[in-house]
């Protein structure tokens, strides 16, 4: 367009602006389009350089009725380009490059942007293609967007380059650490660039460089914060020092055995029982993980760590924080905030923001701004969920998303855990097993379990703890001689207790009977600690017996009352309730610091705890014992009824009622208490107490009546776990008569032995307390009766494989077997029930209840010839579908499943979580339909199936052809196939040959016995010699 044409065009536009529209000729079109709304109207030449202002004015003339009006929203907010096309439109809304000039006519244009006025283009015989206009408008928009993003790319690259140059300077050794002196906008840019840089560096495996850069750019308080935590967590109060000072963690720390996986479900068994079962679990079944690696998988935000009391959860947290603070691990995390529940309980009534909460715990971080908590990678550690006294109402608590928003501490915690507050923050929660379900499962990404010391770690601890290595070896030998003591050594605190006692008794300082039972060990420990504190603090050999008695009874009462409530930590109000004046506790000196002590945390407030749950249980038993034998008071009865607890019956009746009370406990929380209580009735233990607490212990000693009562209970009670507890009680009473009886039977062999119920329980106790590894439990080696099986159930749980071949199990037995499969502590990985009838639906349902439980980790299941029909198969497959990630081998040979059963099984095989590798369906009444059904499962890339037995089924050539189609699929990775006696002829063999030719890389063994292979025999045999194929065995 030349300058003259441009002038004419501008003049036309000005006329339109001045006059509005003129009368329209009948043939002219009125184009009304929302595409022009709010857009700039440009008049461009070929180079798109000419622009005219937006036509915006009120039009006064009306359009004639004969005109065509076209209206569209596409004209809103767009640029209008006036160009010339072949069309004779004088001024058209087109956007393309043209060089021809436009002929002028009067045009009326109406757009939604021009406040309801029409923009009308007059034209004779106008043939404007509106769709082409729209396409060209979109093309122009794309060009503009490309231009914008090219410029953006240039500026972003320039910005990032500048930031990277600054990062390089920061990483030079002589460049000082950076403080937050930049302006807010510059800091935001830096934070964004830093996140990208750190992400790329870590993907390049330049972790150290990334950590160094992050530290350099950390706020000035970062170094001081780390130093404060290092000072706080570098020492551990193990209660072992004669000078009263704490030991350095790195000097005495022994690596703990931590496993990955598991569920957050509650385990209500007594924790000592859990330890006993866990000690039997083969290490090969676990997936160990280092403490510092629990957040190594970057997809994990939250971890729940379980473990029984004193097993090492808090020490693991302490070591994790110390290694971080000293720059040894997890340096990608900028701030770690340890917030123990025992200290958060003290803030139960507080109403404050998360920002204020953290500043109360950590004074070094007051300079951090709210945005820092979102920009930096931070971690919260909530230690001791089982000690939490906050409601943690995840369903009803209000939602909080801002770190400056005030709420109760309970609300803040639930919002952090749910991910509402600081959703990118890492989260680590520790708990005892009984409280694990307080956190919603969808808020936890991974579960780990602290298992304490493994057997090698136990020995390592004693060698570190005892400087005299010869003495350390003697202690290790003695602990191994008592199975009950050695099992307890999984708990680090018990190792300390044992080392404290045995170092004195096996050394030159002291003599006496070496402890072989738990009661003896804890009695000696108590005596040693009180004697030690008396000599240290009072500087005299003769102790104040009256003061000592007062302290022990007060602590015993506190221990007893809080044990019944399930509390392991206590506050001032709990102490006052038991008559303990906190202000006078300084006079208790060594007893408090070695057995019962005040915890000094990050938050100012008094928290008290016994050194371990077992110490609390021992003192609770001692309090109950002294109350009974010295004051005729039955404190156990007082728990049931508030009436007078004085009794007139014999002392033996008190112990019998204690046995009954413990057996009534559903979760066995009084099991260890009962063992201590009965053990205290022995003369040897009372002699020690008499010297310690003269005048408090009457000369009551255990009578045979108590022993006989316990043996009678062993015969009567149906629970095999409770009978094991009672055998431990007999052990504390030094009564080994039942055990010795069954050991005589064991020497002659127990196959077919007709033992009493008590004797079968004794067999279970002996097996569980032997050092032999429990690999296979075969009921036929004992007695196939229901009574024998139920009494030996604890052995079944502790075994890797259980064989119940050709056993006529009852519904009761199947229910018990399901409970074993469902146990969190179960070691079962293989189970063979072959030739044991499951034809009754109830039996299959009972068994399936165990198989579908998430605790069930069964890998091999043998159900050959169990009379399982179609209904039973449906129940079984449904259970396996619910828990499909463990089972690798399933044997259903000789069951009347039919094609419908295979249909159910194919659903299991098609599940991406299914790990089944070996499926046995020999003689299951299958037809060619089953081959068609299995076709999809065989063709899945996610399939784990490697071995399939379809032998002795009427598949025929037609079925094998269908099966071969799946075998030919490159995703099929079958290595062993059994098709013996399936009615296969040469046609079927040809299909198999064709399939192997298409997919020769996997099949190693093929069984075609008892089929009409004919001339195909030679062709199939030739595959063995051909290196193109992997076939190694051919049965034909």
pLDDT at 6 over 70: no
What sections of 466-542 are H helices per DSSP? 469-481, 483-488, 492-505, 518-537
Mean of pLDDT values over 589-597? 58
Predicted confidence band of residue 36 (pLDDT cuts 50, 70, 90): very low
Instruction: Set out the domains of the chain in order of their start, with CATH numbers.
Output: 1-128 (no CATH), 169-217 (no CATH), 228-452 (3.40.50.300), 517-702 (no CATH)
Q: Could you identify the residue written with the tokens 């690596």?
A: 255
* The pLDDT of residue 305: 95
Share of the chain above pLDDT 70, in %: 74
What are the backbone angles phi and psi of residue 785, rounded to the nearest 5°? -75, 155
* The pLDDT of residue 209: 72
- Of these ranges, 160-164, 507-511, 691-695, 932-936, the one predicted with the greatest mean pLDDT is 932-936
Q: How many CB atoms neighbour CB 751 within 10 A?
A: 10
* The pLDDT of residue 384: 92
- Structure token digits, residue 982: 């399936």
User: Measured between alpha carbons, how far is 897 from 829 in angstroms, rounded to an integer?
Assistant: 25
Tell me if 123 sits within 8 A of 28, measured CB to CB: yes
Cα angle at 487 between 483 and 491, to 5 degrees?
A: 150
- Of these ranges, 151-165, 257-271, 819-833, the one predicted with the greatest mean pLDDT is 819-833
User: Measured between alpha carbons, how far is 890 from 893 in angstroms, rounded to an integer?
Assistant: 9
The alpha carbons of the chain give a radius of gyration, in whole angstroms, of 41
* The pLDDT of residue 13: 41
DSSP one-letter code for 24: P
Lowest mean pLDDT among 379-383, 545-549, 934-938: 545-549
- 3-class secondary-structure state, position 556: helix
Closest to 918 (Cα-Cα) out of 995, 994, 973, 985: 973
Tell me if 846 sits within 8 A of 818, measured CB to CB: yes
For 272, 500, 550, 1013, the CA distances from 612, given in Å and listed in that order, are 12, 15, 21, 73
Q: Who's near 620: CB < 8 A, 6+ residues apart? A: 556, 559, 560, 563, 673
User: Measured between alpha carbons, how far is 824 from 262 in angstroms, rounded to an integer?
Assistant: 8
User: Measured between alpha carbons, how far is 930 from 898 in angstroms, rounded to an integer?
Assistant: 8
- Of these ranges, 121-130, 234-243, 274-283, 731-740, the one predicted with the greatest mean pLDDT is 731-740
For 632, 636, 654, the CA distances from 629, given in Å and listed in that order, are 6, 13, 9
- Provide the CA 93 distance to its chain's centre, in angstroms: 63
- Structure token digits, residue 613: 């749950």
- Structure token digits, residue 423: 């959703």
What are the backbone angles phi and psi of residue 81, rounded to the nearest 5°? -105, 130
pLDDT at 586 over 90: no
- Provide the CA 492 distance to its chain's centre, in angstroms: 24
DSSP one-letter code for 918: E
Model pLDDT for residues 777-816, shown as the tens digit of each residue: 999 999 888 899 999 999 999 899 999 999 888 889 999 9
Predicted confidence band of residue 39 (pLDDT cuts 50, 70, 90): very low
* The pLDDT of residue 160: 73
More confident residue, 79 or 1000: 1000
Threshold 0.85, pTM exceeds:
no
Q: Who's near 846: CB < 8 A, 6+ residues apart? A: 811, 814, 815, 817, 818
Share of the chain above pLDDT 90, in %: 41
Predicted confidence band of residue 502 (pLDDT cuts 50, 70, 90): very high
Which helix (H) or strand (E) segment is 821 a member of? helix 811-822
List beta partners, residue 236.
247
* The pLDDT of residue 167: 67
Lowest mean pLDDT among 323-327, 697-701, 706-710, 798-802: 697-701
For 390, 417, 422, the CA distances from 414, given in Å and listed in that order, are 10, 5, 12
Indicate left, alpha or beta for 377 from its phi (over 0: left) and psi (-120 to 50: alpha).
beta
Look at strands 446-450 and 302-306 and give their pairing.
parallel
User: Measured between alpha carbons, how far is 531 from 512 in angstroms, rounded to an integer?
Assistant: 16
Q: Who's near 380: CB < 8 A, 6+ residues apart? A: 337, 339, 416, 425, 426, 427, 428
User: Measured between alpha carbons, how far is 878 from 869 in angstroms, rounded to an integer?
Assistant: 14
User: Measured between alpha carbons, how far is 875 from 879 in angstroms, rounded to an integer?
Assistant: 6
User: Measured between alpha carbons, how far is 725 from 714 in angstroms, rounded to an integer?
Assistant: 10
List beta partners, residue 801.
776, 830
Indicate left, alpha or beta for 195 from its phi (over 0: left) and psi (-120 to 50: alpha).
alpha
Closest to 262 (Cα-Cα) out of 53, 139, 445: 445
Closest to 605 (Cα-Cα) out of 572, 562, 650: 572
Q: Who's near 205: CB < 8 A, 6+ residues apart? A: none
* The pLDDT of residue 431: 94
pLDDT at 57 over 70: no
Q: What is the DSSP string of 14-33?
A: HHHHHH---PPPTT-EEE--
Model pLDDT for residues 133-143, shown as the tens digit of each residue: 777 778 887 78
* The pLDDT of residue 183: 40
User: Measured between alpha carbons, how far is 672 from 724 in angstroms, rounded to an integer?
Assistant: 12
Model pLDDT for residues 955-999, shown as the tens digit of each residue: 999 999 999 999 999 999 999 999 999 999 999 999 999 999 999
pLDDT at 708 over 80: yes
Model pLDDT for residues 173-200, shown as the tens digit of each residue: 555 554 444 444 455 566 667 677 767 7
Which helix (H) or strand (E) segment is 570 a member of? strand 569-570
* The pLDDT of residue 110: 42
- Structure token digits, residue 632: 């005729």
**Residues 486/490/493/494 CA torsion (nearest 10 deg):** -20
Q: Could you identify the residue written with the tokens 């001081």?
A: 224
Predicted confidence band of residue 746 (pLDDT cuts 50, 70, 90): confident
DSSP one-letter code for 398: P
DSSP one-letter code for 363: G
426-431: strand order across its sheet: 258-260, 446-450, 302-306, 426-431, 378-382, 335-338
Mean pLDDT across the chain: 79
User: Measured between alpha carbons, how far is 893 from 877 in angstroms, rounded to an integer?
Assistant: 15
Predicted confidence band of residue 463 (pLDDT cuts 50, 70, 90): very high
Cα angle at 507 between 506 and 510, to 5 degrees?
A: 85
- Structure token digits, residue 561: 């009352």
User: Measured between alpha carbons, how far is 755 from 763 in angstroms, rounded to an integer?
Assistant: 10
User: Measured between alpha carbons, how far is 476 from 502 in angstroms, rounded to an integer?
Assistant: 10
Tell me if 548 sits within 8 A of 692, measured CB to CB: yes
Lowest mean pLDDT among 304-318, 524-538, 611-625: 524-538
* The pLDDT of residue 94: 36
* The pLDDT of residue 400: 96
Predicted confidence band of residue 864 (pLDDT cuts 50, 70, 90): very high
User: Measured between alpha carbons, how far is 237 from 597 in angstroms, rounded to an integer?
Assistant: 10
**Residues 987/992/994/995 CA torsion (nearest 10 deg):** 150
User: Measured between alpha carbons, how far is 101 from 951 in angstroms, rounded to an integer?
Assistant: 87
List beta partners, residue 351.
408
Burial class (CB in 10 A: 0-12, 13-18, 19+), 325: buried
């Amino acid at each position: 367009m030349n300058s003259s044409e441009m002038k004419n065009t501008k003049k036309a536009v000005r006329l339109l602006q001045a006059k509005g529209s003129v009368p329209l000729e009948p043939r002219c079109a009125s184009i009304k389009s929302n595409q022009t709304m709010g857009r700039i109207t440009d008049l461009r030449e070929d180079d798109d350089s000419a622009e005219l202002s937006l036509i915006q004015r009120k039009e006064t003339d009306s359009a004639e009725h004969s005109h065509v009006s076209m209206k569209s929203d596409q004209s809103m907010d767009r640029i209008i380009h006036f160009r010339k096309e072949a069309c004779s439109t004088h001024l058209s809304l087109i956007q393309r490059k043209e060089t021809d000039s436009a002929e002028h006519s009067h045009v009326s244009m109406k757009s939604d942007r021009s406040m309801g006025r029409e923009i009308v283009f007059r034209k004779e015989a106008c043939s404007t293609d509106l769709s082409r206009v729209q396409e060209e408008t979109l093309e122009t928009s794309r060009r503009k967007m490309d231009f914008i993003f090219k410029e953006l790319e240039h500026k972003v690259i320039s910005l990032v380059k500048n930031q990277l140059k600054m990062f390089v300077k920061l990483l030079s050794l002589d460049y000082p650490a950076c403080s937050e002196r930049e302006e807010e906008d510059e800091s935001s840019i830096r934070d964004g660039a830093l996140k990208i840089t750190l992400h790329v560096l870590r993907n390049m495996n330049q972790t150290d460089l990334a950590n160094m850069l992050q530290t350099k750019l950390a706020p000035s308080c970062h170094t001081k914060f780390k130093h404060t935590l290092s000072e706080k967590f570098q020492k551990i109060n193990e209660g072992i020092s004669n000078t009263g000072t704490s030991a350095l963690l790195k000097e005495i720390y022994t690596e703990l055995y931590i496993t990955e996986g598991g569920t957050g479900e509650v385990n209500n068994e007594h924790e000592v029982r859990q330890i006993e079962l866990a000690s039997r679990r083969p290490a090969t079944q676990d997936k160990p993980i280092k403490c510092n690696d629990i957040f190594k998988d970057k997809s994990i935000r939250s971890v729940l760590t379980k473990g029984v009391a004193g097993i090492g959860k808090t020490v693991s947290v302490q070591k994790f924080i110390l290694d971080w603070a000293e720059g040894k691990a997890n340096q990608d995390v900028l701030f770690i905030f340890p917030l123990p529940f025992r200290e958060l309980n003290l803030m139960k009534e507080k109403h404050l923001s998360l920002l204020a909460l953290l500043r109360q715990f950590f004074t070094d971080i007051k300079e951090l701004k709210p945005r820092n908590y979102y920009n930096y990678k931070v971690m919260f550690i909530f230690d001791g969920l089982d000690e939490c006294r906050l409601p943690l109402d995840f369903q009803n608590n209000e939602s909080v998303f801002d770190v400056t928003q005030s709420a109760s501490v309970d609300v803040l915690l639930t919002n952090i855990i749910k991910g509402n507050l600081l959703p990118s923050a890492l989260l680590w929660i520790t708990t005892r097993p009984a409280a694990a379900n307080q956190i919603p499962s969808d808020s936890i990404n991974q579960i780990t379990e602290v298992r304490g010391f493994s057997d090698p770690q136990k020995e390592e601890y004693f060698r570190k703890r005892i400087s005299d290595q010869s003495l350390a070896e003697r202690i290790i030998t003695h602990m191994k001689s008592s199975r009950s003591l050695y099992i307890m050594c999984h708990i680090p605190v018990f190792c300390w207790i044992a080392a404290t006692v045995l170092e004195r008794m096996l050394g030159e300082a002291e003599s006496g009977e070496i402890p072989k039972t738990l009661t003896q060990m804890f009695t000696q420990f108590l005596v040693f600690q009180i004697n030690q504190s008396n000599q240290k603090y009072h500087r005299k050999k003769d102790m104040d017996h009256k003061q000592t008695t007062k302290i022990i009874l007060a602590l015993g009462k506190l221990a007893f009352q809080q044990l019944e409530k399930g509390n392991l930590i206590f506050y001032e109000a709990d102490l006052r309730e038991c008559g303990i004046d906190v202000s006078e506790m300084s006079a208790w000196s060594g007893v408090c610091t070695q057995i019962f002590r005040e915890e000094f945390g990050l938050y100012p407030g008094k928290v008290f705890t016994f050194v371990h749950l077992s110490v609390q249980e021992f003192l609770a038993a001692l309090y109950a014992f002294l109350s009974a034998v010295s004051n005729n008071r039955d404190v156990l009865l007082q728990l049931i009824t508030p009436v007078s607890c004085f009794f007139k019956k014999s002392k033996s009746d008190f112990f019998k009622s204690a046995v009954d009370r413990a057996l009534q406990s559903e979760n066995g929380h009084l099991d260890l208490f009962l063992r201590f209580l009965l053990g205290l009735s022995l003369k040897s233990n009372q002699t020690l107490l008499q010297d310690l607490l003269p005048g408090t212990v009457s000369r009551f000693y255990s009578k045979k009546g108590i022993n006989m009562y316990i043996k009678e209970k062993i015969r009567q009670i149906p629970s095999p776990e409770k009978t094991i507890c009672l055998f431990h009680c007999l052990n504390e009473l030094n009564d080994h008569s039942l055990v010795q009886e069954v050991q005589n039977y064991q020497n002659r062999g127990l196959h077919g032995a007709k033992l009493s119920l008590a004797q079968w329980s004794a067999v279970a106790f002996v097996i569980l307390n032997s050092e032999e590894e429990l690999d296979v439990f075969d009921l036929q080696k004992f007695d196939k009766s229901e009574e024998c099986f139920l009494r030996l159930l604890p052995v079944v749980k502790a075994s890797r494989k259980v064989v119940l071949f050709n056993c006529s199990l009852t519904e009761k037995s199947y229910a018990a077997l399901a409970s074993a499969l469902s146990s969190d502590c179960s070691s079962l990985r293989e189970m063979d029930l072959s030739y044991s009838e499951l034809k009754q639906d109830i039996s299959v349902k009972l068994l399936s209840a165990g198989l579908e439980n998430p605790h069930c980790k069964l890998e091999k299941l043998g159900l050959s010839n169990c009379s399982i029909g179609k209904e039973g198969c449906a129940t079984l497959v449904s259970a396996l579908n619910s828990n499909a990630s463990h089972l690798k081998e399933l044997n259903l040979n000789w069951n009347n499943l039919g094609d419908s059963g295979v249909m159910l099984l194919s659903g299991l095989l098609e599940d991406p979580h299914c790990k089944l590798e070996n499926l046995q369906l020999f003689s299951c009444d299958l037809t060619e339909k089953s081959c068609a059904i299995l076709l999809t499962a065989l063709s899945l890339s996610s399939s784990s199936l490697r071995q399939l037995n379809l032998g002795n089924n009427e598949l025929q050539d037609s079925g094998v052809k269908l099966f071969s189609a799946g075998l030919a699929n490159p995703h099929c990775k079958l290595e062993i196939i059994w098709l013996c006696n399936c009615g296969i002829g040469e046609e079927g063999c040809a299909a198999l040959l064709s399939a192997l030719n298409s997919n020769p890389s996997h099949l190693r063994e093929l069984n075609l016995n008892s089929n009409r292979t004919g001339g195909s025999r030679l062709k199939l045999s030739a595959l063995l010699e051909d290196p193109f194929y992997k076939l190694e065995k051919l049965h034909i």
